[in-house]
Amino acid sequence: MKNKLILSGCVIIAVLILLAIFAPLISPYSPEKIDVENILSSPNRAHILGTDSLGRDLFSRMVYGTRVSLQVGLVAVGVSLTIGLLFGSLAGYCGGRVDNLIMRFVDIMLCFPSFFLLLTMVAFLKATIFNIMLIIGLTSWMGIARLVRAEVLSIKEKDFVRYASSMGLSNFKIVAKHILPNALPPVLVAAVLGMGGAILTESALSFLGLGVQPPTPSWGNILMEGKSVIDIGWWLTLFPGLAILITVLGYNLLGEGIRATRCTLHATG
């Protein structure tokens, strides 16, 4: 409660989670309901955030879009975390040729601009929600792998790891039970920050028409629809843009708060 960054981030994320869970109860309309009599209506009592070019209620679409954004963030980071933990722990614990081979592969992956790599993969796969989550995860694990490797290199020299090795434990048990649990705290910070990045990436892909496809609502494709009518339908750009901003800010506040707390704990012993 004393850390304002963590508290602010938790409040923002908690509100988003509640919106996603109770979307059917919160939304006054179906997100796909077309109303030709209320096309591009500005915010009013009936439609508090206005309507889009098909007369669909923007507030309802925004609420359901929260589900898409949180799903993308959670699953994409889960995929990148799994791959990063696997390659990072192998490189750090095995060392030698295995380390060199894995890290050179990581360096090669980092040479490609991540967004162009995303666009290339999207071009070969159908733009479904599952594929978008998978693609974002497969193109964002390299930083986690390097972080895990650095932690494992440090931890494997500790006395408790040497003792576990002298007791005859297998390498798998040593890594799984003794090394990875101690390497997780900084990795979890990176994962929290990565969720905001994943949501931002999905929104960018959807804005370009390569992400979640209409009529499924996402903040990115709502922005795309509002681009062509921005002069008369400013609300189609303002509200989803604010939603993306606040969501990414919430994850960044939480991640930075946890990082600051860890630094303080280390400093105080």
Q: Are 131 and 125 a contacting pair, CB within 8 Å?
A: yes
Each residue's pLDDT expressed in tens, for the chain with a length of 269 residues: 677 888 999 999 999 999 999 999 999 999 988 988 889 999 999 899 999 989 999 999 999 999 998 998 899 999 999 999 999 999 998 888 999 999 999 998 888 777 777 777 777 777 778 888 888 888 889 999 999 999 998 888 888 888 888 887 788 888 888 888 888 888 888 898 899 889 998 888 888 888 888 888 889 989 998 888 888 889 999 999 999 999 999 999 998 888 877 666 555 65
Q: What is the pLDDT of residue 51?
A: 93
Residue 1: its pLDDT value, please?
67
pLDDT at 269: 54
- What pLDDT does residue 240 have? 93
Domain borders along the chain are: 4-22+56-267
Residue 181 amino acid letter: P
Fold of 4-22+56-267: MetI-like fold (1.10.3720)
Tokens 């989803």, residue located: 240
